[in-house]
Amino acid sequence: MNTEDPEIVGGNECILLVDEEVAILEMNSKLLSRLGYWVVSTSDS
């Protein structure tokens, strides 16, 4: 049994985030950007 934490691997793809809550968009956008993804986010509010 492997008890080590798996390594989080980032990507280089583009992700489109859509949410009504701007705070959620900002948080997720920062997280995904730090993992190497190009993030486009939008909200209707």
Q: Is residue 8 domain-resident?
A: no
Tokens of 2: 């492997």
Whether the pLDDT of residue 10 is over 60: the answer is yes
Domain, as residue range, for 24: 14-45
* pLDDT tier at 39, thresholds 50, 70, 90: very high
User: Does residue 27 fall inside a structural domain?
Assistant: yes
Total domains in the chain come to 1
State the pLDDT confidence band at 4, using cuts at 50, 70 and 90: confident
Q: Could you please report the per-residue DSSP string of the chain?
A: ---SPPPPP---SEEEEE-S-HHHHHHHHHHHHHTT-EEEEE---
Whether residue 23 lies inside any domain: the answer is yes
| Ramachandran area for residue 36 (φ above 0: left; ψ -120 to 50: alpha; else beta) | left
